[in-house]
Amino acid sequence: MLRLIKQPLFRCASSGHLMKESLVFIHQTRTFQVGKFTSNEKYNEKIEDINERSNPQWDNAGLENLLNQLQDSVEQSASDDFMGELEKKIEVENEEPPLMGTNLWPSPSSSIVGLIDRPFQVDSTVQHLVNLIMRDGKKAKAEKIVATALSIIQKETGENPIDVLKQAIAEISPLMKLVSAKRFNKSVEFPMPLKERQRRRIALQWILGECKSSSPKRLSDRIVKEIIAIRSKTSNCFKKKDHLHRMCLVNRGNAPVRI
């Protein structure tokens, strides 16, 4: 009997306790939802206030004033850039041109001391001659020899020495060279065309080869003597050129033909 009586009383007490807890929980959730709703409203109001401050509403007069200021600043910067470029162009035009051609070399009556002390014009032909004369890396010595030779040429001819040197090289430079190769265990020679730099190199080597004699004593004087001989058609370089061309004609049958 006691067990039967205690059991329903325990169940009623437990069920009443559960109902009370459920009511408290429902009340708490409602108050939390109401507070959350109110806090969301405040958050939205703050966001709207910040947006209004960060994006102010411009009237038409303010916009026109801002656009005018921007346009004036752009025009001023463009005009400053244009004036700066124009001033640079004027400065470049007013600069003295570099020493070229006849402006480099003094008159034939002047001395060659000042010419030797200053660097002469950088020309590919002159530099090629300097490099062929140079020994043991002594380029300054080779440049001095070439500068002295060119100044003497100007005194004797009264013309631009670089042009005289180029004309002499063009007259004796060959068009072709002989190349040897093996065919059927037999060495044959056939002609091959030369490029401009190769032609100039062979011509300068022939000129320096003719300058190996002991008279005159200075190398610059010997170079001048050989160039003047080329102008007068009395140099041995012409014989070397004719012999090379003749041998190329003789061996033209050995030239490779590609179909």
Structural domain boundaries in the chain = 101-254
In this predicted structure, what is the pLDDT of residue 188?
A: 86
Looking at residue 254, its pLDDT comes to: 81
Topology given in CATH for the domain delimited by 101-254: Ribosomal Protein S7 (1.10.455)
Residue with the larger pLDDT of the pair 64 and 160: 160
> Could you read off the pLDDT of 86-128 as tens digits, one per residue?
566 556 555 544 433 444 444 444 444 444 444 455 688 998 9
Cα 228 to Cα 112: distance, rounded to the nearest angstrom: 19
**How many Å apart are CA 201 and CA 184, to the nearest integer?**
33
Q: How would residue 11 be classed by pLDDT, with cut points 50, 70 and 90?
A: very low
Give the whole-number percent of the chain exceeding pLDDT 90. 28
Residue 178 CB coordination number (10 Å):
14
Query: CA 204 to CA 132: how far, in whole Å?
Result: 8
Residue, of 254 and 99, whose pLDDT is higher: 254
pLDDT at 251: 86
**Residue 168 and residue 154: Cα distance in Å, rounded?**
14
Distance of CA 11 to the CA centre of its chain: 97
The token pair that represents 140 in the structure block: 């300054």
pLDDT at 179: 87
d(CA 160, CA 117): 19
Contact 237, 225 (CB under 8 A): no
Percent of the chain clearing pLDDT 70 (strictly above): 52
Give 193's strand partners: 176
pLDDT digits (tens, 9 = 90+) for 36-76: 445 556 666 766 666 555 555 555 565 666 667 666 765 66
Question: What pLDDT band is residue 170 in, cutting at 50, 70 and 90?
Answer: very high
Which pLDDT score is estimated for 240?
A: 93
Q: Which tokens is 209 given?
A: 């080869």
Mean pLDDT of 160-168: 91
Output the pTM of the full model: 0.54
pLDDT value at residue 96: 46
For CA atoms 201, 206, 209, 215, the dihedral sign is negative
Residue at 77: amino acid letter? S
